[in-house]
Structure 1
Amino acid sequence: MKDYTVLKGDTLTSIAKKYSVPIGQICEVNCIKDINKIYAGQKLKIPEKNVTGIGTITKTSEFGRNFIKNFENLKLEAYQCPSGVWTIGWGHTKGVKEGDKITKAQAEELFNKDISIAEKAVNKYQKTYNFNKNQYDALVSFALNIGNIDELTSNGSRSIDMIRKKIPEYNKGRDKNNNKVILPGLVNRRKDELQLFNKK
């Protein structure tokens, strides 16, 4: 661990680049909640350089894929989720309509496409945070369900600790009358995602 005094004109981005350490790790060690709020003269602790490289994880593990599938439950005929959205396969919704049917192979293909989109949403912030395997898998699950992690990370300005605290808040969805309500399924999903996120 190194000591660093913030200079005028410094940003966490420039400091992280200088020491080849992810911004998220600097925020975590120094309890920084907003990466835009540092000041000249501030004393920071700089973690040791990440020897494995920044942003090395860019794909969901096999465990992560099964973790997500356990939430979605395979359905080969279109059904309406608690929010009234037509869904098929492992939680696929795009272009699905009443009466649609698919095979298990087609469901796997759709799942791979959905996972790829969710991975891109997480990879957008991987160089900022250097998420470990469990954090990455948890956030891919979150992104596949929510659509992205932009709001969760406040576009990359929140610390890992703040992300951890925010995950359980995303437990609401629309009911069939379009009212925003807490959904037990989302409460349980966020709980399990947080548990995975915190796992060492």
Structure 2
Amino acid sequence: MKLSKTGLDLIKHFEGLRLNTYRCQAGVLTIGYGHTGSDVKSGMKITEAQADAYLVADVAKFERAVADMVKVPLTQSQFDALVSFTFNLGAGKVKSSTLIRKVNAGDFAEAAAEFAKWRLAGGKVSNGLVTRRAAEAKLFQTK
């Protein structure tokens, strides 16, 4: 599966576009639409086109991660919500999560309830993450 425009718009909305490096709430050096990694350096500046290119590459990585983690058929909305969630948290955390265990058990109602548990940034409840998780859970439950 591939992320739909709805899923991409969700990621863009919650990540926001920043053309200069910054530290996210968890203290990670970030640029563009939530791009992190060893190629992100302090003081770095990029164009919107570069931010879009990072986003395309990052989304592809998280599409593959979700496809590898999930062993049951998903709707497009479920896939989009899981890609957004994984984009934000990283595949390592998501792979071992109760949310993925519930998805793979086919317990989609319980899986949707798991999104809300992932609301901490730097050890503190983040209102932005509370809002993002609610949007992801809503999308996950959309038919």
**Which of residues 95, 98, 109 in structure 2 aligns to 1:161?**
109
Greater helix percent: which structure? 2
Residue 50 (structure 2) pairs with residue 106 (structure 1)? yes
Q: Using a 3 Å threshold, how does the CA distance of structure 1 residues 93 and 125 change in structure 2: closer, same or farther?
A: closer
How many Å separate the matches in 2 of 1:154 and 1:62?
Answer: 26
CA distance in 1, matches of 2:90, 2:28: 14
Deviation at 1:157, TM superposition (A): 4.3
Q: How many residues align?
A: 137
Give the aligned partner of residue 64 of structure 1: 7
For residues 153 and 162 of structure 1, the distance between their equivalents in structure 2, rounded to whole angstroms, comes to: 10
Corresponding letter in the other structure for 2:101: S
What is the CA–CA distance in structure 1 between the aligned matches of 2:15 and 2:73, rounded to whole Å?
Answer: 27
Deviation at 1:85, TM superposition (A): 1.5
Which residue number in structure 1 is paired with residue 88 of structure 2?
Answer: 145
User: How far did 1:191 drift?
Assistant: 0.6
Q: Tell which structure's C-alpha radius of gyration is larger.
A: 1
Structure 1 letter corresponding to 2:10: F
CA deviation profile, 1:80-130 (whole Å, cap 9, x unmatched): 11222211000001122220011111111110111011111211144x221
Letter in 1 for 2:25: P
Deviation at 1:159, TM superposition (A): 2.2
Q: Give the SS at the match of 1:131.
A: coil
Contact 2:32 2:46 in 1 (8 A): yes
With normalisation by structure 1, the TM-score equals 0.64
Equivalent-residue separation in structure 2 for 1:142 and 1:115 (angstroms):
11
Return structure 1 stretches of 4+ with deviation > 2 angstroms.
Answer: 154-159
Secondary structure of residue in 1 paired with 2:37:
coil
Runs of at least 5 residues in structure 1 that lack an aligned partner in the other structure: 1-57, 175-179
RMSD: 1.6
Q: Do 1:129 and 1:160's aligned partners in 2 also have CA atoms closer than 8 Å?
A: no
In structure 2, how many angstroms separate the alpha carbons of the residues matched to 1:158 and 1:97? 41
**Contiguous gaps of at least 5 residues in structure 2:** none
| Cα distance, 1:161 vs structure 2 | 2.3
With the length of structure 2 as denominator, give the TM-score of the two structures. Answer: 0.88
Structure 1 segment 170-189 matched on structure 2, within 5 A: 170-174=118-122, 180-189=123-132
Distance in 1 between residues matched to 2:129 and 2:135, nearest whole Å? 10
